[in-house]
Amino acid sequence: MKRLISILVSLTILVIIYTRIDFSGLIEVFLDCHIAWMIVSLAMVIPITGFTAWRLQQLLPPQATIGLWEANKLILAASVLNMVLPSKMGDIAKAYFMRERGNLSGSLSLSIVVFEKACDMLSLLLWCAFGLLLYPRKDAFFAVMTVGIVGGLTVGLLLLSSRAFAQTFFRLARRLTPRKISLKLETLQTSWGEMHGYFWSDRAQLLKIALTSIFVWFLHLLQIWFFILALNAWVNPVTNLALSPLAILAGLLPLTFAGVGTRDAALIALYEPYFSAATGAALGLLCTSRYVLPAIGGLPFLNQYLSTVRLMQKR
């Protein structure tokens, strides 16, 4: 039911967007696109997936039996499941896959996925904070966004670096949330504690993972800038570092299907000073392709993981 509601919300927002823009102008934007840049920008999915898979492989302990090709398949299969299961359950399913195929304990495999997602979020916030601090427009909205992003980045780094702060944070969060959410936070708290013990035992490895995550998210944001060039538009690269993460964060709000709708509206609004709403809508469609293309690539590998997903749903 939640998935159906999110799809309906996405469709409603898209209908509002496309009734307010010049739809023929949207078609014209794609017809007039720069073919070479379009090919390059869409092909960026390949190195992004490859580096993400390599990072996952580096996160695993030496006794794990998951190679780089298997890690790529896990990433792609999780992309498929994230499109059809609620609440990013594809990433949780990935933890089950690693437990079954990598000879890992359930808690350790979940800890690895939690750490992977934490690195992704902190890297996105880091680039966003960097871009916002250099962004010349300093009105009230961007001032609030800068404070919020820097604050979120600070809290995230404290959660990742200080076990005492993390325990206090989770205890407080569990007291303030309903029982159903509190139980999920309890599981996350346990995994977070194990994650601290596992990753801080090797600081050189931790630094390598952190730098890789920052680089992977640079590639994500670079791809969006390439999309803009493919649409024959222009935005300063530093400006793109400020605006594109805000649009991605809007797409992470638990309102819509895979961020469709909220992300599109955010792109149109944020990039309004730089190009037309039709170009912003086209950019929204291309940003959605960043999630659709890996999902399509993961379809051939999904079959071998479905039994694990069924087991996960039973539990």
Does 95 have pLDDT greater than 60?
Answer: yes
pLDDT tens-digit series, residues 3-12: 678 888 888 8
pLDDT tens by residue, 116-157: 988 999 999 999 999 999 998 888 999 999 999 999 999 999
User: What's the confidence (pLDDT) of residue 270?
Assistant: 95
Q: What is the pLDDT of residue 307?
A: 63
Domain residue ranges in the chain: 46-241+284-314
What was the pLDDT predicted at 94? 78
Segment 34-92, tens digit of pLDDT? 999 999 999 999 999 999 999 998 888 877 778 888 889 888 988 888 777 655 666 77
Other CB atoms within 10 A of residue 78 CB: 27
**The whole model's pTM is what?**
0.90
Cα gap 132→115, rounded to integer Å? 25
The per-residue DSSP string of 95-153 comes to HHHHHHHTT--HHHHHHHHHHHHHHHHHHHHHHHHHHHHH-S--SHHHHHHHHHHHHHH
Residue 241 has pLDDT above 70, yes or no: yes
Alpha-carbon gap, residue 43 to 59, rounded angstroms: 25
HSE, side-chain direction, 13 A CA sphere, residue 143: 3
Alpha helices in 179-315 (DSSP H): 179-199, 203-230, 237-251, 262-270, 277-302, 306-314
Average pLDDT over residues 19-27: 86
